[in-house]
Chain A
């Protein structure tokens, strides 16, 4: 089955700086890669997702890049703000798989220092 590794587990950056969270996956058949943000005590929320036929996707200060050859994908947050502090989860889903083909990483706790 799919295995998703996420790094780092904790990331502290100064407000205004950029943050990068990286995930690797094991199954080359994976074709869908979402990122979820979970603020303390709140629900996970989808912030961006990408499919394997696209190498990069941007939405304002957030971008995701995908390297299919190396089987890794990354979340980039620019001009970080205090409200970006949260736990971020990546996931990968195997092509043709249902929901059980969606494997999550363990999460990255992003801390924005004022």
Chain B
């Protein structure tokens, strides 16, 4: 798989667990994003990183913690999640940080029990 790769594809965790989602892009892009996709709701932007610096944080609860060690890798650290956090978490990248021409990964389907 080329482009934007996310792992794991599926994740089931309890409310007291700590887990991390990983994203890697092979496109030479400068910006990376985390989106949340829930059924019958629009895609929700969570975080944006441009050249490894966080530029957007859309009032996301602190139980979600992003990390961007370099322009190719992005993590989303999860702890003490709630059942309503169950969703598909999509990583994306783009050349600039303005949200144009996003390349998405296949997502991590997260279930919180």
Taken together as a complex, chains A and B put the C-alpha atoms of A102 and B55 apart, in Å, by 14
A98-B48 contact given A42-B106, A43-B105, A43-B106, CB 8 Å threshold: yes
Let me know if B81 is at the binding interface, CB within 8 A: no
Nearest residue (CB) in B for A3 is B42
Nearest residue (CB) in A for B92 is A44
Q: Per-residue 0/1 for B92-109: is the Cβ within 8 Å of any A Cβ (1 yes, 0 no)?
A: 000001111111111100
> Pick the contact of B100 from A42, A44, A49, A104 — CB < 8 Å?
A49
Contacts of B74 in A (CB 8 A): none
Let me know if A110 is at the binding interface, CB within 8 A: no
Q: Tell me if B's interface is mostly helix, strand, loop or mixed.
A: loop
B100 and A34 contact, CB distance less than 8 A: yes
Distance (whole angstroms) from the CB of A40 to the closest CB of chain B:
12
A99 and B99 contact, CB distance less than 8 A: yes
> Pick the contact of B104 from A32, A44, A91, A107 — CB < 8 Å?
A44
Taken together as a complex, chains A and B put the C-alpha atoms of A90 and B69 apart, in Å, by 31
Contacts of B101 in A (CB 8 A): 34, 46, 49
A46-B102 contact given A98-B55, A100-B56, A103-B42, CB 8 Å threshold: yes
Distance (whole angstroms) from the CB of B35 to the closest CB of chain A:
9
Let me know if B27 is at the binding interface, CB within 8 A: no
B56 and A43 contact, CB distance less than 8 A: no
Task: Please give the number of chain B residues whose Cβ is less than 8 angstroms from any Cβ of chain A in the complex.
Answer: 24
Let me know if B58 is at the binding interface, CB within 8 A: yes
Taken together as a complex, chains A and B put the C-alpha atoms of A98 and B53 apart, in Å, by 14
Distance (whole angstroms) from the CB of A102 to the closest CB of chain B:
4
A44-B58 contact given A49-B101, A93-B98, A99-B33, CB 8 Å threshold: no
Contacts of B100 in A (CB 8 A): 32, 34, 49, 93
> Pick the contact of A98 from B40, B43, B98 — CB < 8 Å?
B98
Let me know if B21 is at the binding interface, CB within 8 A: no
List chain A positions with a Cβ less than 8 A from chain B: 4, 32, 34, 36, 42-46, 49, 89, 91, 93, 97-107
23 A-B Cβ contacts within 8 A?
A32-B100, A36-B102, A43-B4, A43-B105, A43-B106, A43-B107, A93-B99, A93-B100, A97-B98, A98-B48, A98-B55, A98-B56, A98-B98, A98-B99, A99-B31, A99-B45, A99-B99, A100-B48, A100-B56, A102-B45, A104-B42, A106-B41, A107-B42
